[in-house]
Amino acid sequence: MAPVTPEVLWAQRSNSVDEAKNVIFLTLNTPDVAKPEIKLTATSLSFKGASSNGKDYEIELEFFDEIDVDNSTHSHSGRGVYFVLRKKEAKEEYWPRLLKDKRKYHFLKTDFDRWVDEDEQQEAAADDDFGGMGGMGGMPGMPGMGGMGGMGGMPGMDGLDLSALSGMGGMGGAGGLDFSALQSEMGGMGMPPTGPSAMGLPDDSDDSDDEQPPELVADETPKA
C-alpha cells in the first residue's frame, strides 16, 4: 500500500524580544499511530508511522526558514503529533509561509484554532501556551472547562437544593413539583418575592370578615 500524506495544520507567532513567543505551531493528523519515526533538523521535518488500521503515513517538510531544534518540542497522542517549533531568527514579522516551496499543497491547512493575524498577536498572547502544547489533551485549541466550581460564579446558586426540582419530571405538566419548597429555595437565592403583594396589590388570600358580603336582613315593615 502506498504511503498516505497526513493532513498538516499550522499557525505562528513572532516576537523580536521574547524568543519563546517566536514559534510555529504544527500539527500532523496521524490517528492511531503508536510508534512514529520523527526526524527534526534546522530546516526540515520528516515523519513516518503505521496506524492500527493499516495506513502508512509519511511526509517530509522543508521549512521556509531555520528553526531552533534544541528549543523546539513535540508531543504525541492517539490523534496525531503536535509541535512547537522555535524560529531561529527572532523578529516581529511573520514567515510569509510555512514551506520553502511556494507551491500550494492540498494537505497543508491553516490551524484556525491557533491562528491570529500578525497585528493582533499581542492581544492573543495571554491565551497561548508556549510550553509544549500544554492543555491540548489531544484536542488542539480546546480550552478546559475548569473554573466553573459548581456554578460558583452565579450569585445565590450556592444554597439551591436541586432535589426540590426532582419531581418536575422533565417539566411535563410540573407533576409532583412542590412549589412551596421551590419558593423557599428561591428566597435563599436572594430572588424577589412573587405574588400580588410583591406588586403592591391587595392579597386575595386574606379571608377576613371585612371582605365578606353583608348579611341579608328580613324586611320587618308591617304590611298594609
Would the pTM of this model clear 0.85, i.e. be above it?
Answer: no
Residue 163 has a pLDDT of 45
Rounded CA gap, 68 and 86, in Å? Answer: 5
Task: Identify which of 8, 9, 10, 17 has the alpha carbon closest to the alpha carbon of residue 125.
Answer: 17
Rounded CA gap, 61 and 167, in Å? Answer: 61
Residue 121 has a pLDDT of 77
Q: For the chain, which domains are there?
A: 7-116 (2.60.40.790), 152-189 (no CATH)
Residue 187 has a pLDDT of 54
Hey, how many other C-beta atoms are within 10 angstroms of the C-beta on 208? 6
pLDDT tens by residue, 31-87:
999 999 999 999 999 999 999 888 999 999 999 999 999 999 999 999 999 999 999
pLDDT tens by residue, 112-169:
999 998 888 777 665 565 555 543 444 444 333 333 443 344 444 444 444 444 444 4
Q: Which three cell numbers stand for residue 119?
A: 497585528
> Is residue 16 pLDDT above 60, yes or no?
yes
Q: 123-132, 167-176, 198-207, 213-222: which has the minimum mean pLDDT?
A: 167-176
In this structure, what is the dihedral angle of CA atoms 45, 48, 51, 56, given to the nearest 10 degrees? 120
Hey, how many other C-beta atoms are within 10 angstroms of the C-beta on 94? 14
